[in-house]
Amino acid sequence: MSDDHSNEWYYNTKTGKVEPYQGAKSGDRLGPYSTPEEAARALEKAQERNEAWDNDPKWNDD
Protein backbone atom coordinates (compact mmCIF):
# COMPACT_ATOMS: atom_id res chain seq x y z
CA MET A 1 0.00 0.00 0.00
CA SER A 2 1.34 3.39 -0.97
CA ASP A 3 1.89 6.25 1.45
CA ASP A 4 1.04 8.75 -1.30
CA HIS A 5 -2.34 10.20 -0.43
CA SER A 6 -2.09 13.17 -2.79
CA ASN A 7 -5.02 11.96 -4.91
CA GLU A 8 -7.36 11.18 -2.02
CA TRP A 9 -10.32 13.44 -1.28
CA TYR A 10 -12.88 13.15 1.47
CA TYR A 11 -16.28 14.58 2.29
CA ASN A 12 -16.45 15.87 5.86
CA THR A 13 -19.89 15.06 7.25
CA LYS A 14 -19.60 17.63 10.05
CA THR A 15 -18.57 20.61 7.95
CA GLY A 16 -20.10 19.61 4.62
CA LYS A 17 -16.82 20.39 2.90
CA VAL A 18 -14.43 18.45 0.71
CA GLU A 19 -10.94 18.07 2.10
CA PRO A 20 -7.68 16.34 1.23
CA TYR A 21 -6.24 13.37 3.08
CA GLN A 22 -4.66 15.66 5.69
CA GLY A 23 -8.02 16.75 7.09
CA ALA A 24 -10.29 15.95 9.99
CA LYS A 25 -10.46 12.64 11.84
CA SER A 26 -11.64 9.72 9.74
CA GLY A 27 -14.83 9.17 11.77
CA ASP A 28 -16.21 12.42 10.35
CA ARG A 29 -15.42 11.69 6.71
CA LEU A 30 -16.58 9.68 3.72
CA GLY A 31 -14.03 8.54 1.20
CA PRO A 32 -11.51 8.33 -0.21
CA TYR A 33 -12.54 9.63 -3.62
CA SER A 34 -10.30 10.25 -6.63
CA THR A 35 -11.35 13.85 -7.19
CA PRO A 36 -12.82 16.71 -5.18
CA GLU A 37 -15.89 16.57 -7.44
CA GLU A 38 -16.53 12.92 -6.56
CA ALA A 39 -16.09 13.69 -2.86
CA ALA A 40 -18.61 16.53 -3.14
CA ARG A 41 -21.21 13.97 -4.28
CA ALA A 42 -20.54 11.60 -1.37
CA LEU A 43 -23.96 12.00 0.27
CA GLU A 44 -25.77 11.65 -3.06
CA LYS A 45 -23.78 8.50 -3.84
CA ALA A 46 -24.55 7.03 -0.41
CA GLN A 47 -28.26 7.73 -0.92
CA GLU A 48 -28.20 6.12 -4.36
CA ARG A 49 -26.52 3.01 -2.94
CA ASN A 50 -28.98 2.83 -0.04
CA GLU A 51 -31.92 3.00 -2.43
CA ALA A 52 -30.40 0.32 -4.65
CA TRP A 53 -29.86 -1.97 -1.67
CA ASP A 54 -33.35 -1.27 -0.31
CA ASN A 55 -34.82 -2.32 -3.66
CA ASP A 56 -32.60 -5.34 -4.25
CA PRO A 57 -34.76 -8.48 -3.91
CA LYS A 58 -31.70 -10.54 -2.91
CA TRP A 59 -31.34 -8.39 0.23
CA ASN A 60 -34.98 -7.75 1.06
CA ASP A 61 -35.57 -9.29 4.48
CA ASP A 62 -39.10 -7.98 5.04
The predicted-structure confidence for 4-39, as pLDDT tens digits, reads as follows 888 899 999 999 999 999 877 788 999 999 999 999
Task: Confirm whether 44 is domain-assigned.
Answer: yes
Q: Tell me whether residue 19 is in a domain.
A: yes
Residue-level pLDDT at 2? 64
Q: Does residue 38 lie within any of the structural domains?
A: yes
pLDDT at 1 over 60: no
Per the domain annotation, does 2 fall within a domain? no
More confident residue, 24 or 1: 24
> What is the C-alpha separation between 29 and 15, in angstroms, rounded?
10
Does 54 map to a domain? yes
Is 4 part of a structural domain of the chain?
A: no
Comparing CA positions, the residue from 2, 9, 5 lying closest to residue 39 is 9
Give CA–CA dist 42/62, Å, rounded. 28
CB proximity list for 6: less than 8 A, separation 6 or greater = 20, 21
Q: Is residue 13 part of a domain?
A: yes
Q: What is the pLDDT of residue 62?
A: 57
Q: What range defines the domain where residue 37 resides?
A: 9-59
Q: What is the pTM of this model?
A: 0.76
Q: What pLDDT, on the 0 to 100 scale, is given for residue 59?
A: 72
